[in-house]
Amino acid sequence: MPNGKPSGKHSRQLLFSEAIAQPKTMEAQTAPPCSASSPADPTALEAANCILLEIIAVGRRLEVMDSKISDLTVASSSSIRADIAGFRETVHDLDQRLTTMEGQVAALPNHEAELCFLRTKLIDLEDRSCRDNVRFFGFFGNIRRALISKLFSNLFCPSLLAWSSHCHWSFKGSTGLALYIKRPPTSPILSLHVFYAMSRLAKSQGPYSLEEHEIRVVADFSRLTNDKRKAFLALRPQFRNLDIKYGIF
């Protein structure tokens, strides 16, 4: 320490110690005291100024980023809430559909019973719609069984007599007698006889003389029977080539 005065280095250390010991004020922070022997360096002040400006710029960028992050967070939250609401509605809809399907599954036995009933009714309706009948008019008084057999022997070939005896007879008043043909016989050859006889009855309805009665035959065939009859008649050449005899009266 020449001439009894502190050097520049020691002076700066002393000033730094005093600045720490004193309370921190705005003036001390912005303009630290300098000794007369060590004036402020313009280069250091400019560097500090630049650093301060950079800090301010970084702060502003952080504010902008914070604002953007806040906006994105709000938008994402709204989108997530909307998705959650949509998922909730979808789950509710699926629950309702599941409940409906469970009810339908529980009602299946009832539907099966209803379908079985409708199927039976449909078969009955088909049977009734396809039922054919041959009506005989001209009988008076009591009709004997032998007279009916004689009538059949005149109208049908012998092979049809056994089949006709199993048909359902119904009296229509005092002058009518109806033969309801429920279904054709199972034998193919006998079926040919039946349809051939039906064709003959459809073409010629009488009257037929039977003892003291004039018998008139009315053949009422369903569309299905007529279609089958036409199909059988169309196969007549093939039956003849195969030596299959049918319709022999």
CB 151 within 8 A of CB 161: no
Residue pLDDT, tens place only, 146-183:
666 666 666 655 555 555 554 555 555 444 555 555 55
Q: Is the pLDDT of residue 217 over 70?
A: no
Q: Is the pLDDT of residue 6 over 80?
A: no
Q: What are phi and psi of 171, to 5 degrees?
A: -90, 135
Would you list the domain boundaries of the chain?
A: 41-106, 132-241
Q: How far apart are CA 110 and CA 175, in angstroms?
A: 48
On whether the pTM is more than 0.75, the answer is no
Pick the CATH number of 132-241 from 2.40.50.100, 3.40.50.2300, 3.30.70.330, 3.30.465.10: 3.30.70.330
Q: Is the pLDDT of residue 93 over 70?
A: yes
Kindly give, in sequence order, each residue whose CB lies less than 8 Å from that of residue 170, ignoring residues fewer than 6 positions away: 177, 178, 179, 180
CB 198 within 8 A of CB 221: yes
The residue assigned the tokens 């449909």 is: 122
Q: Is the pLDDT of residue 77 over 50?
A: yes
Angle, vertex CA 11, rays to CA 9 and CA 17, nearest 5: 105
**Structure confidence at residue 249 (pLDDT):** 33
Mean pLDDT, residues 91-116 taken together: 87
DSSP characters over 60-92: HHHHHHHHHHHHHHHHHHHHHHHHHHHHHHHHH
